[in-house]
């Protein structure tokens, strides 16, 4: 084992939670308090290290003696909230230390999204982005589109009228759809990209490993981070049996439902991408046959997305409060609802494309999609982006020398 530098202390202080805060579920409701709580929890865990093999958080923790705001945000986003450490912890409530790693990390993650939001003035939307807002935004946009159809010259009758061959471009021309959705989606990508860029630059590589200059990202590290993200490796609970939900039983349901949701979303995105190539490169305009590649990708993606979101909604309703940040529930449910509404309305649109209900189904689907795009930078979607960045940072960091040698990588 490497020896510490001369005169450098390696004592990790352990602090109990003040008596007045041990049973207060609303403690540490300000940003500084939430960072301090993560630092306190990590200092105790660093002295214990019983959970070192559970997930990436604990090996990353052992590379640090102090936990400033950048480190706290990094570790909070590295946490996948599986709950295994809470169930294994000998210092969890009602112990006087009152350790709850998943909850402390979840509370700080919400601060991460707001702190790194771009533009900064819109960071407060994370506090207000809930189920009611999500559904109201989708409904409002759908109503706006329906009014646009009614005022286009066909009147209200145009909202209940079949189109030849189910051609929805007869309702909203292709160039109009592009002009509506491209700026919204482009802004969402820009806002998320600038936010995660600041998160990456602010995050430290740890007191023991901080290099004198930015470290290039090795290909092996990028591949490892991508593999861990795509497999949702750290939703296995560290023991392969999964997460803890409403009780002590471990289940792989959360991991599997995330896979349904994530890959369903990717399949739907792929369907849109292939349809775009068909339109611009091959000159093939929608609607496409049921056996075409865009349709097959869209149907399989939509069904997968519906299964995943319904399951995640059920888990969100039933998960034990100690395993989560209750304040995030509205944001979680708003995102789940928009994903479900987007998938279900898309499938409904395909089923009704040859009927007089096509215009209304199209307005509903486009309203849901636009609401989803508009809220991407300021909703739960951001957790995947910041978690991916944290996994990449961990993959890079673990390839650097650990001069503290407090734990194994």
Can the peptide bond before residue 94 be classed as cis, meaning omega within 30 degrees of 0? yes
Count of CB atoms situated within 10 Å of the CB of 102: 23
Angle at the Cα of 43 from the Cα atoms of 96 and 331, rounded to 5 degrees: 80
Helix (H, G, I), strand (E, B) or coil at 49: coil
pLDDT of residue 31: 82
Confidence check: pLDDT of 1 > 50: no
> Phi first, then psi: what are they for 243, rounded to 5°?
-95, 165
DSSP secondary structure of 269-315:
HHHHHHHHHIIIII-PPSSPPTTSHHHHHHHHHHHHHHHHHHHHHHH
180-184 contacts: CB < 8 A, separation 24 or more?
A: 180/366, 180/370, 181/369, 181/370, 181/373, 184/370, 184/373, 184/374
Dihedral angle, C-alpha 347, 351, 352, 353, nearest 10 °: 90
- Whose structure tokens read 């395909």? 350
Q: What's the CA angle centered on 340, arms 286 and 247, to 5 degrees?
A: 155
Q: Which pLDDT band, with edges at 50, 70 and 90, does 10 fall under?
A: very low
* Look-up of token digits 């609970």: 237
pLDDT in tens, 210-253: 544 566 778 899 999 999 999 999 998 888 888 888 777 889 99
Q: How confident is the model at residue 344 (pLDDT cuts 50, 70, 90)?
A: very high
Question: DSSP string covering 205-255, please?
Answer: --TTT--SSPPP--HHHHHHHHHHHHHTGGGSTTTTS-EE-SSS-EESHHH
- Taking the alpha carbons at both ends of the chain, their separation in whole angstroms is 14
Tens digit of each residue's pLDDT (9 = 90 or more) over 112-150: 988 898 888 777 776 666 888 889 999 999 999 999 988
Output the CA torsion sign for 243, 56, 386, 73: positive
Q: Answer yes or no: is pLDDT of 205 > 60.
A: no
């Amino acid at each position: 084992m490497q020896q510490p530098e001369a005169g450098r202390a390696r004592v990790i202080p352990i602090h109990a939670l003040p008596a007045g805060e041990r049973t207060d579920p609303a403690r540490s409701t300000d940003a500084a308090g939430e960072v301090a709580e993560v630092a306190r929890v990590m200092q105790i865990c660093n002295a214990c290290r019983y959970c070192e093999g559970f997930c990436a958080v604990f090996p990353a923790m052992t590379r640090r003696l102090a936990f400033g705001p950048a480190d706290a945000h990094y570790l909070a986003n590295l946490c996948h909230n599986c709950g295994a450490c809470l169930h294994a912890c000998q210092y969890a409530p009602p112990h006087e230390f009152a350790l709850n790693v998943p909850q402390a990390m979840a509370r700080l993650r919400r601060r991460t999204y707001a702190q790194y939001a771009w533009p900064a003035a819109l960071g407060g939307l994370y506090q207000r982005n809930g189920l009611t807002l999500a559904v109201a935004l989708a409904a409002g946009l759908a109503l706006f589109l329906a009014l646009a159809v009614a005022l286009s010259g066909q009147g209200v009758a145009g909202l209940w009228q079949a189109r030849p061959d189910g051609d929805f471009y007869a309702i909203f021309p292709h160039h109009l759809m592009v002009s509506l959705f491209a700026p919204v989606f482009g802004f969402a990508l820009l806002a998320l990209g600038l936010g995660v860029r600041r998160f990456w630059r602010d995050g430290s590589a740890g007191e023991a490993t901080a290099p004198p200059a930015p470290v290039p990202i090795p290909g092996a590290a990028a591949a490892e981070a991508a593999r861990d993200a795509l497999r949702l490796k750290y939703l296995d609970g560290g023991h392969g049996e999964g997460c803890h939900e409403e009780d002590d039983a471990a289940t792989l349901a959360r991991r599997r439902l995330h896979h349904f949701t994530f890959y369903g979303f990717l399949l739907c995105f792929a369907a849109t991408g292939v349809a775009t190539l068909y339109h611009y490169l091959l000159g093939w305009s929608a609607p496409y046959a049921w056996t075409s590649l865009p349709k097959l990708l869209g149907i399989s993606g939509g069904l997968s997305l519906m299964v995943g979101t319904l399951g995640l909604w059920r888990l969100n309703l039933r998960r034990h409060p100690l395993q989560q940040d209750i304040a995030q529930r509205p944001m979680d449910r708003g995102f789940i609802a928009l994903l479900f509404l987007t998938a279900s309305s898309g499938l409904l649109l395909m089923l009704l494309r040859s009927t007089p209900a096509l215009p209304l189904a199209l307005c509903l689907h486009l309203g849901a999609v636009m609401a989803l795009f508009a809220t991407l930078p300021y909703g739960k979607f951001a957790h995947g982006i910041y978690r991916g960045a944290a996994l990449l940072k961990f993959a890079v960091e673990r390839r650097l020398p650990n001069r503290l040698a407090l734990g194994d990588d």
